[in-house]
Amino acid sequence: MIKRIKWPGWIIIILFLAGVVFGINQVLAKVLEETSEPEKKVVDSSVYPGLNIKTETEKTDVYTLSVSQPYTNNNQINKPIDTWVDKQKKDFTSGIKESKNMLEKNGFRAHLNIQAEPEKIADKIYTLKFQAYQITGGANGITKMKSFVIDLNQNKLLQADDVFQLDNEAQQAIRKLILEELHSNKKINTYLFDDMAKKALKDPKNWKWTVSRKHVTFYFDEYEIAAGAAGAIEAEIPMKQMKPYLNETFAKKIAVKIPEKEKSRKEEQHSEDNAKLDPDGKYVALTFDDGPLPEVTPRVLDALKKHDAKATFFMLGSQVRYYPTLANEVDEAGHEIGNHTMNHQDLTVLPPDKIREEIQKSSRIIEKAIGRTPTLLRPPYGASNDDVEQVATDLGVPIVMWSVDSLDWKSLNATAVNKEVMSNVAPGSIVLMHDIHPSTADALPQLLTSLEERGYQMVTVSQLLELWDENGVGPHYGKLG
């Protein structure tokens, strides 16, 4: 019978079948749109004792979703977290509905990504930093920040007044620290709106913050205090600057020592720095340049600690930017930190404005890490000229050179380093070394023992300068043998 169908009949049959298939596909598409379930996946994991994270992912033709949601065994803690996460999901769903036609027309899928970063700061005390990014159409998405601090010892979410002193004076001081940090960041400062920032900081109940033993970090949504080009913003304040404004009970829980209230932040110094040296003593100042470096600096600190020795570390801003915690460890151990410029350039070949920039940029980074501004400068390569000295004079930072070069950079040999130093050291020497060479860390235990056997006490450069009553810019070289 099929063979008997004439050619025009075949055309009619083909057109008919095509119409049927098209119609079926349309109906299936409609059904799938209304009834099909998205691809879903949920992964549960334990992060810390008492704290878990549920990670939910979804994928459809219209959107993708990935949400990390921490939870505990306490509903009172979970509820505010769930409420915030659900709000982001609801906003995302509303955005999809509003942009549905555009999404379908352009074949673009909306995205929601909520990531939670937990950190343990004490026994059963955790911080949670949330970052939620969503895009439902248009050229740009939006990022929102949220933070929670959980104390499972009390089964509660900590509020601002649980962590900070919030009298008027303390509030003003905290706001000032945050605004100073925002303005010191060139990327943020370019786009910052001061009036919006002040408004966001007005009520401590609206602050978004996390706390650790090293920093207190304040968070701002994209567009909250600056133009969108700045993105979501974090202002990280070193704990040394925040300590005077912490709630004493909370500070004890996270093992942060509160300074005496009558002392200002600027007055808080190492007791060793304030101790005057005996004029009849036998002293040497060991100095370490170019760090900090995780492979070497901790070993140097260990050796110094075993011999109860103090030293001066001339740090590069570029290194401190990568290893701020390590710089803070050096400071916490009672050692002195000086400025070795930002990028180790020969300052004598730079114009005055670039010299100033190299010094000041490094100084800001060091201050952010340790909570104090370095008060000494060592020019890279020991290279100085009239321009360098004039900038140092303008900035009020003494230039410190050395009288004994260990040549550790040249020999890269522990025995050779010890021989070079002990052959040239004299009372009042300033010794040049570098905490970037493993061989220098290898040399230090024996070098410290040898110096002690000769009756030397290891002190900071500032202590030597105070002993000699040398207050000017210098340069200061130390005593020659």
**155-183 pLDDT per residue, tens:** 999 999 999 999 998 999 999 999 999 99
Beta bridge partners of 55: 43, 68
Same-domain status, 244 and 326: no
In a domain, residue 333? The reply is: yes
In a domain, residue 137? The reply is: yes
Q: Determine the pLDDT at residue 138.
A: 66
Same-domain status, 326 and 442: yes
Looking at 126, 158, 190, which one is the last position of a domain?
158
Q: Determine the pLDDT at residue 35.
A: 34
In a domain, residue 363? The reply is: yes
Would the pLDDT of 424 be above 70?
Answer: yes
In a domain, residue 9? The reply is: no
Highest mean pLDDT among 166-170, 197-201, 253-257, 370-374: 197-201
What are the helix (H) ranges across 314-351? 317-322, 324-332
Residue with the larger pLDDT of the pair 107 and 126: 126
Same-domain status, 168 and 147: no
- Looking up residue 144, the CATH number of its domain turns out to be 3.30.565.40
How large is the average pLDDT for residues 8-24?
50
In a domain, residue 265? The reply is: no
Rounded distance between C-alpha atoms, residue 420 and residue 244, angstroms: 45
In a domain, residue 247? The reply is: yes
Looking at 253, 288, 318, which one is the last position of a domain?
253
Query: Kind of pairing, strands 457-459 and 312-315?
Result: unpaired
Query: Catalytic one among 215, 340, 344, 434?
Result: 434
Looking at 158, 181, 198, which one is the last position of a domain?
158
**What is each CA distance from 178 to 145, 194, 374, 428, 458, in whole angstroms?**
16, 12, 21, 42, 38
Active site residue 434: yes
Would the pLDDT of 266 be above 50?
Answer: no
Q: Determine the pLDDT at residue 479.
A: 84
Q: What is the mean pLDDT of the chain?
A: 86
Same-domain status, 284 and 383: yes
With 0.75 as the threshold, say if the pTM is over it: no
Q: Determine the pLDDT at residue 325.
A: 85
- Comparing 202-211, 239-248, 410-419, 455-464, which segment has the lowest mean pLDDT? 239-248
Q: Which domain holds residue 131?
A: 39-158
- Total structural domains in the chain? 3
Strands (E), 304-416: 312-315, 336-339, 404-405
Q: How confident is the model at residue 15 (pLDDT cuts 50, 70, 90)?
A: low
Same-domain status, 153 and 175: no
Q: Determine the pLDDT at residue 271.
A: 47
Would the pLDDT of 334 be above 70?
Answer: yes
Same-domain status, 402 and 384: yes
Q: Determine the pLDDT at residue 13.
A: 53
Would the pLDDT of 5 be above 60?
Answer: no
Rounded distance between C-alpha atoms, residue 460 and residue 42, angstroms: 56
Same-domain status, 128 and 206: no
Rounded distance between C-alpha atoms, residue 182 and residue 218, angstroms: 10
Query: Catalytic one among 151, 221, 289, 435?
Result: 289
What are the helix (H) ranges across 128-279? 160-163, 168-184, 186-189, 194-201, 239-242, 248-253, 271-274
Same-domain status, 316 and 393: yes
- Looking up residue 335, the CATH number of its domain turns out to be 3.20.20.370
Q: Determine the pLDDT at residue 376.
A: 96
Active site residue 307: no
**Which pair of structure tokens corresponds to residue 193?**
């709106």
Q: How confident is the model at residue 25 (pLDDT cuts 50, 70, 90)?
A: very low
**Which pair of structure tokens corresponds to residue 239?**
């704990």
- Comparing 76-80, 206-210, 250-254, 360-364, which segment has the lowest mean pLDDT? 250-254
Would the pLDDT of 148 be above 90?
Answer: yes
Rounded distance between C-alpha atoms, residue 415 and residue 439, angstroms: 9
Same-domain status, 362 and 283: yes
Same-domain status, 357 and 455: yes
In a domain, residue 308? The reply is: yes
Residues 6+ apart with CB under 8 A from 285: 311, 312, 429, 430, 431, 458, 459, 460, 461, 463, 464, 478
In a domain, residue 118? The reply is: yes
pLDDT in tens, 120-131: 888 889 999 999
Would the pLDDT of 269 be above 80?
Answer: no
Q: Please name the amino acid found at residue 336.
A: E
Same-domain status, 117 and 169: no
Query: Are 221 and 143 contacting, i.e. CB atoms less than 8 angstroms apart?
Result: yes
Q: Determine the pLDDT at residue 67.
A: 93
How large is the average pLDDT for residues 388-393?
94
Place of tokens 């570029």: 318
Q: Determine the pLDDT at residue 9.
A: 57
Residue 475: cis peptide before it, omega within 30 degrees of 0: yes
Same-domain status, 189 and 220: yes
- Looking up residue 173, the CATH number of its domain turns out to be 3.90.640.20
